């Protein structure tokens, strides 16, 4: 199967409460998530990411459109489509009276996982909670609760794992543990991973493919590497030895003097070469103390695309 998730024409209108008008959070979203990928769903606040994820998880009812999960139409085979997906939610809502081991057993029961197929100890070990297996959830730290939420998402051995803002506000150790586990689940078990994050650097590093949504619509979906290539602007930063005078630059190159005296030359890689720039700098009689280049990153792509969509 090529796509783990297929979303077609997905609309969600939240009923307005009191005097507030109804809100169209998704306006006919089309999206596919390839099987075996680590897929990033990005977008500004209120773009519709959580709504999309909650519909996939079966927590929010869509207004219209088609959702297929692991080949199962959500409307026709709700049980199978739910069984194929595990969701680690944003909120840390856990029953305080359950222990981690107890919570996993209950979750396994809810999904009808036979006793012989349960792996409570193994999952707790994977998320680093073995020594807390029998502690009450109310005594767990915020980080431990997140580990437990990840563990709960895995009890029914889903093919697809969805993580909604998994690293928001967590410390470095937990973040590394989460990403280590995500990579392992993806590489060793072929699990398809979908995640939302506000940390673009993280998405750039972790995700093979990225979709950006804005105002309930898809802005772009592409391989991360292709997205980064879309912006072929590059900046050469020159630290001159002494003050730099005017430089006679090729057309289309923008010159900016930074507060530290460095000269930033922004150019289009397709039109101007680094060599041309360096020649122009030399011709201006500038001695170069240091030179470096800055590539576009996902943040530039994100800003440029969500901006132009507006
Ligand atoms: N239960 C609800 N009732 C009414 N409106 C809602 C509800 N949930 C979300 N919305 C609205 O729908 C839009 C999309 O919200 P959603 O939470 O899906 O965005 P998001 O991309 O996840 O944002 P964030 O990055 O802030 O989590 C927003 O305008 C939000 O105010």
Beta bridge partners of residue 52, listed in sequence order: none
The answer to whether residue 301 sits within a structural domain is yes
Q: Atom 29 (ligand 1): residue with closest C-alpha? A: 46
- Residue among 27, 51, 62 whose CB has most ligand 1 atoms within 8 A, to mutate: 51
Q: What is the position in ligand 1's atom list of the atom closest to the CA of 16?
A: 4
Domain final residue, candidates 219, 251, 271: 219
Indicate the number of domains in the chain: 2
- The answer, yes or no, to whether residue 310 has pLDDT greater than 60, is no
Q: Atom 28 (ligand 1): residue with closest C-alpha? A: 46
Q: What is the 3-state secondary structure (H, E, C) of 91-156?
A: CCCCCCCCCHHHHHHHHHHHCCCCHHHCCHHHHHHHCCCHHHCCCCHHHCCHHHHHHHHHHHHHCC
- 207, 240: one domain: no
Tokens matching residue 242 = 């002494």
Q: Atom 5 (ligand 1): residue with closest C-alpha? A: 14
Instruction: Count Cβ atoms below 10 Å from residue 68 Cβ, excluding itself.
Output: 20
Q: Atom 26 (ligand 1): residue with closest C-alpha? A: 45
- 134, 25: one domain: yes
- 38, 138: one domain: yes
More confident residue, 142 or 218: 218
Q: What is the pLDDT of residue 193?
A: 97
- Residue among 21, 25, 164, 195 whose CB has most ligand 1 atoms within 8 A, to mutate: 25
- 192, 212: one domain: yes
The answer to whether residue 226 sits within a structural domain is no
Kindly give the distance from the C-alpha atom of residue 193 to the centroid of ligand 1, in angstroms, as a whole number. Answer: 22
The answer to whether residue 225 sits within a structural domain is no
Q: What is the pLDDT of residue 301?
A: 73
The dihedral through the CA atoms of 285, 291, 296, 298 has a sign that is: negative
More confident residue, 89 or 94: 89
Q: What is the pLDDT of residue 303?
A: 76
- Residue among 49, 57, 162 whose CB has most ligand 1 atoms within 8 A, to mutate: 49
- 191, 237: one domain: no
Q: The domain that contains 251 carries what CATH number? A: 3.30.70
- 128, 269: one domain: no
Q: Atom 2 (ligand 1): residue with closest C-alpha? A: 14
Predicted confidence band at 1 (pLDDT cuts at 50, 70, 90)? low
Domain final residue, candidates 219, 254, 274: 219
More confident residue, 69 or 296: 69
Per-residue pLDDT of 5-32, as tens digits, reads 999 999 999 998 788 889 999 999 999 9
- 180, 64: one domain: yes
Predicted confidence band at 308 (pLDDT cuts at 50, 70, 90)? low
Kindly give the distance from the C-alpha atom of residue 46 to the centroid of ligand 1, in angstroms, as a whole number. Answer: 5
- 235, 204: one domain: no
Q: How far apart are CA 286 and CA 240, in angstroms?
A: 6
Q: What is the pLDDT of residue 97?
A: 77
- 62, 114: one domain: yes
The answer to whether residue 149 sits within a structural domain is yes
Per-residue pLDDT of 109-160, as tens digits, reads 999 999 999 999 999 999 999 999 998 877 888 888 899 999 999 999 999 9
Domain final residue, candidates 199, 219, 239: 219
Q: Atom 24 (ligand 1): residue with closest C-alpha? A: 45
The dihedral through the CA atoms of 94, 99, 100, 106 has a sign that is: negative
The answer to whether residue 224 sits within a structural domain is no
Q: How far apart are the first and last CA of the chain?
A: 35
- The answer, yes or no, to whether residue 192 has pLDDT greater than 50, is yes
Predicted confidence band at 77 (pLDDT cuts at 50, 70, 90)? very high
The answer to whether residue 194 sits within a structural domain is yes
Kindly give the distance from the C-alpha atom of residue 48 to the centroid of ligand 1, in angstroms, as a whole number. Answer: 6
Q: Atom 11 (ligand 1): residue with closest C-alpha? A: 25
| Domain that includes residue 264, residue range | 231-309
Q: The domain that contains 164 carries what CATH number? A: 3.40.50.300
- 258, 301: one domain: yes
Q: Atom 16 (ligand 1): residue with closest C-alpha? A: 48
Q: How far apart are CA 159 and CA 77, in angstroms?
A: 16
Kindly give the distance from the C-alpha atom of residue 173 to the centroid of ligand 1, in angstroms, as a whole number. Answer: 30
The answer to whether residue 78 sits within a structural domain is yes
Cβ(118)–Cβ(108) below 8 Å: yes
Kindly give the distance from the C-alpha atom of residue 66 to the centroid of ligand 1, in angstroms, as a whole number. Answer: 20
Cβ(12)–Cβ(63) below 8 Å: yes
Q: Atom 25 (ligand 1): residue with closest C-alpha? A: 45
Q: What is the position in ligand 1's atom list of the atom closest to the CA of 43?
A: 21
Q: What ipTM does the predicted assembly reach?
A: 0.97
Q: Which residues line ligand 1 (CB under 6 A)?
A: 14, 23, 25, 43, 45-51
Kindly give the distance from the C-alpha atom of residue 8 to the centroid of ligand 1, in angstroms, as a whole number. Answer: 20
Q: pTM for the full model? A: 0.81
Kindly give the distance from the C-alpha atom of residue 276 to the centroid of ligand 1, in angstroms, as a whole number. Answer: 49
The answer to whether residue 246 sits within a structural domain is yes
Q: Which strands, in side-by-side order, build the sheet including 263-268?
A: 254-257, 263-268, 233-240, 288-295
- 244, 211: one domain: no
- 114, 177: one domain: yes
């Amino acid at each position: 199967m090529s796509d783990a998730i297929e979303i077609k024409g997905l609309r969600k209108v939240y009923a307005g409460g009191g005097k507030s008008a109804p809100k169209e959070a998704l306006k006919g979203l089309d999206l596919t998530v390839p099987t075996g990928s680590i897929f990033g769903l990005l977008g500004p606040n209120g773009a519709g990411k959580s709504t999309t994820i909650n519909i996939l998880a079966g927590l929010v009812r869509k207004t219209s459109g088609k959702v297929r999960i692991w080949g199962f139409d959500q409307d026709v085979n709700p049980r199978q489509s739910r069984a194929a997906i595990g969701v680690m939610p944003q909120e840390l809502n856990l029953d305080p009276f359950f222990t981690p081991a107890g919570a996993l057993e209950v979750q396994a029961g809810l999904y009808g996982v036979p006793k012989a197929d349960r792996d409570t100890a193994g999952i707790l070990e994977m998320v680093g909670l073995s020594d807390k297996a029998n502690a009450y959830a109310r005594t767990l730290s915020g980080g431990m609760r997140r580990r437990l939420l990840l563990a709960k998402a895995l009890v029914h051995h889903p093919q697809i794992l969805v993580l909604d803002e998994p690293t928001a506000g967590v410390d470095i150790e937990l973040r590394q543990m989460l990403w280590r586990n995500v990579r392992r689940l993806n590489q060793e078990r072929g699990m398809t991973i979908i995640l939302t994050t506000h940390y673009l650097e993280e998405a750039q590093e972790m995700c093979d493919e990225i979709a950006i949504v804005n105002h309930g619509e898809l802005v772009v979906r592409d391989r991360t590497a292709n997205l980064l290539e879309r912006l072929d602007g590059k900046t050469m930063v020159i630290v001159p030895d002494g003050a730099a005078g005017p430089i006679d630059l090729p057309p289309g190159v923008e010159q900016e003097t930074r507060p530290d005296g460095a000269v930033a030359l922004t150019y289009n890689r397709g039109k101007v070469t680094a060599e041309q720039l360096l020649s122009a700098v030399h011709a201006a009689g500038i001695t170069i103390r240091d030179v470096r280049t800055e590539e576009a990153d996902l943040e530039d792509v994100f800003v440029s695309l969500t901006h132009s969509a507006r």
